[in-house]
Structure 1
């Protein structure tokens, strides 16, 4: 009888201990998940749902909102400024990520295969551009492109090319492409460092075997390095593409979409439509934001389809 009572007591203690462990796990999960999930609901999901509602309104943010249904979307189809901004986004989405990834990859490959003593310094130097804010970068390059005292015109004059006080950001023929340079300059450093770290993780024996077989540096880069860091390149490409589509801060500071709308992008057009001096149409701006959201999702799906994530084993 005493043995049975002892067994029951031990069983009850085990159940109590198991119940205590479950409660501790529940409390831990509650503490770990609820703040993050609550922040997601409050700062991501709720604003997006609210934007969908705003996109169906004619509202300036102050007066009584008027429900107009899909009128904002219908008007957007015939809005030539939206299509012009999307065209500029498309150009930037093709040129800027391609240039950033190619230059970053070449720099990273060069520094990893040439063991300079200054490699650590180069990492810091490349990453320095990412420490600077977009405002600082925009102001810096605005001075460089300035027609009166800009560094670019000064260099051209030194090499015998008469610039004649040319304003690179004030001409519709050059403003759009001039903005590509600071975008690439400001993005290369981060991805060069990422690629350097990714390449350094590739076993040296693979490169040694390729060199013994007579492979040239460019062949090693294309046939060995790039395939082995494919996953890293994919993630970087995703961030660069999505960042290029969404970004407008640098353009707003340097040209604000001018001259004559030649550098306008969809994010800047949406911002000016909501908070600009001439317009205060939150409903239409929200509709443009919904289109931008669809474009971002479509870009992500296209990248996943044509550049799938494939694991690599050394």
Structure 2
């Protein structure tokens, strides 16, 4: 054995120990960096999401108007809520929006996205911009635009109907119980289609063109290609979009607030708006009862999420 080998063997454990210390130090620095990076977002989540939700659970057990001393009433708010006909009427309207808005948005967005990707129009970028334009507008602006469309005296809808020979006079679409609830649906759809067109176009561009070429050679129509190739391959994205639309239809109320404020005669009221008016209305302030309604809405949202997972399992398709 060479005289240098014992010295080298003695230095090897020292080098390994130094390397392990460096690796441990690097891992510690990485953990500290990750902790510092996520701390603001996690702190914001705790402060502005988790804490208010937990506080709402406590408020739902109180009889409190926000000013006078709170009175603990236990589950009385929940008992009263289950017997409140306005809660169930509002929930029925929510279910109507949930059954129509997501389906219309997904259907129209898929159709427009497929046309843009399959036809390869020269002005497709302009079409994307036009479709996305409503998403640039605020909810207030969209609602006010559609309020003008539905106006009885100067509204665009009545003018278009007169052009095709249908004279409805000065009919106020948002002021009649027969039409108000249906008139609220188009603003939701118009405001949501553009975003999902862009999302679906980007998803469709990732599908290999060879699949479509093979389908064309076999004589498949556009409808067959859309149903048998496009939709199955982008189904995970459709699923996420449908989930957001369903949950948004259940908890959203901004359009209804601006267009009708729940009227006429409560024919367009929804759970979110009813809860808002319970807490901040002009004639009634009861944060406890409003919080109980909010907890009811929270349970409905969880149930809707579970039903969506059951109806649309997260499965990927490969060809």
| TM-score, scaled relative to structure 1 | 0.96
Q: Indicate yes or no: 2:110 matched with 1:125.
A: no
Partners in 1 of 2:292 and 2:149 — Cα distance?
A: 36
Q: Indicate yes or no: 2:290 matched with 1:285.
A: yes
Q: CA RMSD in A?
A: 1.4
- C-alpha deviations, 1:221-266, integer Å up to 9, x for none? 1111111111111011001111111110011001000000000000
1:252 to 250, 257, 261: 257
2:91 to 86, 94, 107: 86
Would the aligned equivalents of 2:174 and 2:180 in 1 still touch at CA under 8 Å?
A: yes
- C-alpha deviations, 1:17-44, integer Å up to 9, x for none? 1332132122112112322222221111
Aligned length: 314
1:192 to 156, 172, 197: 197
2:119 to 103, 109, 114: 114
Corresponding residue of 1:216: 221
1:306 to 305, 308, 311: 311
**1:128-277 to 2 correspondences below 5 Å:** 128-277=133-282
Q: Indicate yes or no: 2:69 matched with 1:46.
A: no
1:98 to 100, 103, 116: 103
Would the aligned equivalents of 2:233 and 2:316 in 1 still touch at CA under 8 Å?
A: no
Partners in 1 of 2:229 and 2:13 — Cα distance?
A: 65
Q: Which moved more, 1:63-72 or 1:213-222?
A: 213-222
Secondary structure of the equivalent of 2:29? helix
1:13 to 12, 18, 31: 18
Once the two structures are TM-superposed, the CA of residue 125 in structure 1 deviates from its matched residue by 0.6
Structure 1: 5+ residue runs without aligned partners? Answer: none
Partners in 2 of 1:218 and 1:15 — Cα distance?
A: 61
Partners in 2 of 1:100 and 1:304 — Cα distance?
A: 19
Q: Which moved more, 1:153-162 or 1:16-25?
A: 16-25
Once the two structures are TM-superposed, the CA of residue 3 in structure 1 deviates from its matched residue by 5.7
CA 1:7–1:200 in 2, change beyond 3 Å: closer, same or farther? closer
Secondary structure of the equivalent of 2:174? helix
Partners in 2 of 1:19 and 1:96 — Cα distance?
A: 54
Partners in 1 of 2:275 and 2:220 — Cα distance?
A: 51
Structure 2: 5+ residue runs without aligned partners? Answer: 1-5
